[in-house]
Chain A
Amino acid sequence: MADSPVAAPTKRSFPRVEFTDSEAGALEFPSSKSRTYNYFKPAKLRATVYEDVTVDVQPDPDRYLTQGWIYGFGDGPGGYPHDWTAAKSSNWHQFLDPNEEWEQTIFRNNAAVVRQINLCLENAKRANAYDHWNAPWSKFVAQNLGAWMHAENGLALHVFTSIQRSCPSNMINNAVAVNAAHKMRFAQELALFNLDLSESHLEFDGSAHKEAWQNGSEWQPTRKVVEELTATGDWCELLFATNVVFEQLVGQLFRSELMMQVSARNGDYITPTIVGAGENDYNRDSSYTRVLFQLLVQDEKFGASNKELFGTWMTKWVPRCLDAANAMQPIWSQPADKVRTYAESFQSAKEKFTQMLEEIGLDAPKELNQ
């Protein structure tokens, strides 16, 4: 057999490494030590990574933008006009997210939550944890936790995602985008939990959530509020109505004051892990919300008018959320083991709501006690 011809080696081409001595400190010259972003004043002595990667990334004619917005809408200016909300601020850029969310924190935190839930669900399967569920609890989870996941998903896609287009600074935008991610992740975890239960030995109706959410009398006022929220154009009203009013009076009422309290007594240690992650999300998201509205209430120029405005927003949204909360009352009676009454849960939710209002600097609305 003849030798096959050997291809001539091709000459590899690659860039030449050159030592350029371009390291910091190689020479001294004007600005050779200017190694901080110098166009904003950090909240403390040194800027945090969060501030460095967030502040002023989106330009603003109120900051350094000299040529103005170069594209406009057909019916108004471009960018993020301040009149997209009735709330006013002397300086929207003053807001900094207390959670300091940026790329690394978003994925570290949420990946940790995802792993925690995955472990929990895998262990539950191995331990046949659902075998001990009683029928009322199975039905309760299928209908009510199932209905709730719709609310979370609606808020993710049509409330928080929407707000982050319209709000005026990059710092608000980033915080709200993370809020949307929390809601999406939580809604999906609830849906996948529902799928797990459907595929388990448990007698579980994986489609019961649709009927409960679409037609169940306990859930219609909640669905109504969620849909009305998605129909709200003023981004700041939307944030206030959702994170201050709805989440306190309806969201926490259901998640924290019901699901987290009654699950374990009904033989379910999985639901608190998943719902607890949602509660943890809200704890973070309520932090940035509180700081933002504190700034608006304490604004030297607009604080008084903002307080009045927030009062009108509460007049509008508190009764709607109270209707939603009260309509849910019957579900407190559905589990076999009832460890908490609706009255107790609702009282606790109202107290937390009042406390949040106090921290923001607002009075509790009279509607709360009617």
Chain B
Amino acid sequence: MSRQSLTKAHAKISELTWEPTFATPATRFGTDYTFEKAPKKDPLKQIMRSYFPMEEEKDNRVFGAMDGAIRGNMFRQVQQRWLEWQKLFLSIIPFPEISAARAMPMAIDAVPNPEIHNGLAVQMIDEVRHSTIQMNLKKLYMNNYIDPAGFDMTEKAFANNYAGTIGRQFGEGFITGDAITASNIYLTVVAETAFTNTLFVAMPDEAAANGDYLLPTVFHSVQSDESRHISNGYSILLMALADERNRPLLERDLRYAWWNNHCVVDAAIGTFIEYGTKDRRKDRESYAEMWRRWIYDDYYRSYLLPLEKYGLVIPHDLVEEAWNRITNKFYVHETARFFATGWLANYWRIDPMTDTDFEWFEDKYPGWYSRFGKWWEAYNRLRYPGKNKPIAFEDVGYEYPHRCWTCMVPCMIREDMVMEKVDGQWRTYCSETCAWTDIKAFRPEYEGRDTPNMGRLTGHREWETLHHNKDYSEIIQDLGYVRDDGKTLIPQPHLELDDPKKLWTVDDMKGNVFMSPNILLNEMTDDERAAWATAYRANDNICRV
């Protein structure tokens, strides 16, 4: 502020609100939370007069870097292994951003505090910025990177792909259901405050190590807005804590939001960082080490734990279990193997792992080779068409996993799989917490209390159901993941573009019939199903071929 102090200016701006007497704003999006006893203050004090020039300056830096990257031939040194994963990441992330914009009026509707409405509306504009700046970055990649296939169909692929749907929770979850659950706890208190650290800081760091300095340029610019969003979320959280009636809902929502964010974000970003990099320095932080720093120390210990003094019940057990899954249960590595098993259902290519990668993984995650080494060797061996089927249809000792009905990431930690008949249908869940989310949390009643505003899990939640019992050559043409010669696939299980014989085509997919695990599960007799579940949980799924 040049002319008035920020405090005076903000005080003046707060005079713009008034108490309506003719009609009150429509409550379009309900909440089961109450804010009658809430303290009212705006932590943000953002004023449009300073906001627009500040963001313009940030933009100028971003666009300057983009010009520089082109002039400096950045793509001469970009690792294809890395940029292929950006076809997935950048197809997903603009949607959560713009969904966050859509979430802001839900928070404004639900929180009767004009002081904070200003900050929420500013966040809305930030999110429009983030969504379109990310789309523009993707366009630059498409124009300048060696293989544009996958970038060129980005939003269509996002909408019809299994991984796109998993990512879509990180977006739809912001704008649907109870307004506070969605726009505050899930979006701001957990997703933005905890997981944007790995999304927008840790991952861009890895991009730079792989020759791509534009991802850090754009995403650090995005992240610089997030601190204001975190303040919005914290402020509403404190308001909610002022009313005892909100505590069971806060406890429920923190458990759901924490666990869902872990399931979705750690699966995706962990894979991008660990399997998208060529940087195998031993002193380079692993995803687990990054997680420990950014999420466990910076978020859990510095942000969540202090809230205990307000009486908030923190999901310590779920934080520890997430850490346990990342370190001891190989969650990220199971996810990467699943992505690579299903390479033919992707719109990006996945580079095989090499001995150098193996050595690094074993160093960072002891026991990695005995669990995954042989499988990646098989992936490498089966990477070309002609003599073999895609690895998903070959017997390499890997049982295709069932999906978690809640988080939609497959149930890859076999021993933790939960099977229940819910709403007349047999469903599988990756964990007890995901089962609880569907069976207990997303319901119109919670622990004896009416929760009519809570959301519902809807849609065709198992992607495979849509393609059950079809030949894969038909499926991939339906999906549109075919290059402009009409036959070569966009996805490939390697990065070699120099020889057409190495590239899989629609014809190579013929004769491979795709089945939905969930449909098959529901067709079993009770005895068959029980036997299947026991065997599924017992299968260590270690490739010994």
A residues lining the B interface (CB < 8 Å): 13, 15-27, 29-39, 49, 52-60, 63-75, 77-80, 102-104, 106-108, 110-111, 113-115, 117-118, 121-122, 125, 149-150, 153-154, 156-158, 161-162, 164-166, 170, 173-174, 177-178, 180-181, 184-185, 187-189, 191-192, 194-196, 199, 206-207, 209-210, 213-214, 223-224, 227-228, 230-233
Contact = CB atoms under 8 A, between A and B. Distances in A.
Contacts of A209: 15
A58 B444 CA distance: 28
21 contacts: A15-B210, A17-B211, A18-B278, A19-B76, A20-B76, A39-B154, A53-B136, A56-B156, A66-B160, A67-B165, A78-B455, A103-B136, A106-B128, A149-B16, A153-B17, A164-B105, A191-B13, A192-B13, A231-B24, A231-B26, A233-B28
Given A21-B76, A37-B139, A230-B26, A31 B147 contact: yes
Given A30-B488, A34-B148, A114 B26 contact: no
A32 B98 contact: no
Nearest to B171: A58
A194 B14 CA distance: 13
A104 B80 CA distance: 29
Which 8 residue pairs are nearest across A and B when measured between Cβ atoms? A30-B483, A53-B135, A39-B156, A31-B149, A64-B159, A68-B459, A31-B483, A71-B176
A76 to B, nearest CB: 9
A71 B17 contact: no
Contacts of B459: 67-71
Nearest to A198: B12
A83 to B, nearest CB: 13
A75 B146 CA distance: 48
B407 to A, nearest CB: 10
B136 A70 contact: no
B305 interface: no
Contacts of A25: 146
A158 B108 contact: yes
Interface string B106-128: 10110000100110111011001
A130 to B, nearest CB: 14
A67 B162 CA distance: 9
B128 A74 contact: no
A187 to B, nearest CB: 6
B53 A115 contact: yes
A152 B104 CA distance: 19
A194 to B, nearest CB: 7
Interface stretch (B55-63, B241-249, B412-420): B55-63
Nearest to A63: B159
Contact of A231 (B23, B83, B95, B460): B23
Interface in B1-49: 2-4, 8-9, 12-13, 15-26, 28-30, 47-49
Interface stretch (B191-199, B367-375, B387-395, B495-503): B495-503
Given A13-B281, A180-B124, A224-B22, A75 B165 contact: no
B175 interface: yes
B26 A74 contact: no
B172 A110 contact: no
Nearest to A117: B49
Contacts of A187: 16
A196 B3 contact: yes
B426 interface: no
B455 A72 contact: yes
Contacts of A33: 148, 484
B49 A78 contact: no
B354 interface: no
A15 B56 CA distance: 32
Given A54-B135, A71-B456, A107-B129, 9 more contacts: A23-B76, A27-B497, A30-B487, A59-B95, A80-B102, A102-B136, A103-B59, A153-B17, A227-B23
B211 A52 contact: no
A68 to B, nearest CB: 4
B80 A20 contact: yes
B231 interface: no
B211 A70 contact: no
B23 A228 contact: yes
Contact of B26 (A15, A32, A233): A233
A177 B125 contact: yes
Interface string B258-294: 0000000000000000000011010110000000000
B525 interface: no
B382 interface: no
Contact of A22 (B76, B125, B485, B498): B76
Nearest to A50: B132
Contacts of A162: 25-26, 28, 105, 108-109
Nearest to B9: A192
Contacts of A63: 156, 159
Contacts of B23: 224, 227-228, 230-231
B109 to A, nearest CB: 7
Contact of A71 (B25, B169, B208): B169
A195 B9 contact: yes
B173 interface: yes
Contacts of A102: 128, 132, 136
Interface of B: 2-4, 8-9, 12-13, 15-26, 28-30, 47-49, 52-53, 55-56, 59, 63, 73, 75-80, 83, 94-95, 98-99, 101-106, 108-109, 114, 117-118, 120-122, 124-125, 128-133, 135-136, 139, 142-149, 152-156, 158-160, 165, 168-169, 172-173, 175-178, 208-211, 278-279, 281, 283-284, 408, 444, 451-461, 463, 466, 483-485, 487-488, 490, 497-498, 500, 503
Given A13-B281, A161-B108, A195-B9, A23 B75 contact: yes
A24 B147 CA distance: 7
B2 A118 contact: yes
Contacts of B22: 223-224, 227-228
Nearest to B456: A72
B102 A173 contact: yes
Nearest to A192: B9
A35 B16 CA distance: 48
Nearest to B49: A114
A231 B19 CA distance: 14
Contact of B128 (A15, A52, A177, A230): A177
A233 B144 CA distance: 45
Contact of B108 (A39, A111, A157): A157
Given A37-B154, A194-B12, A24 B121 contact: no
B263 to A, nearest CB: 14
A229 B520 CA distance: 52
B458 A72 contact: yes
Contact of B98 (A24, A58, A68, A232): A58
A77 B458 contact: yes
B132 A53 contact: yes
Contact of A191 (B12, B53, B153, B175): B12
A106 B129 contact: yes
A94 B259 CA distance: 38
Residue of B52, B211, B485 ringed by the most chain A CB atoms within 10 A? B52
Contacts of A53: 131-133, 135-136, 139
Given A71-B455, A107-B56, A181-B48, A31 B28 contact: no
B18 A214 contact: yes
A227 B21 CA distance: 8
Contacts of B149: 30-31, 34
A108 B118 contact: no
Nearest to B53: A111
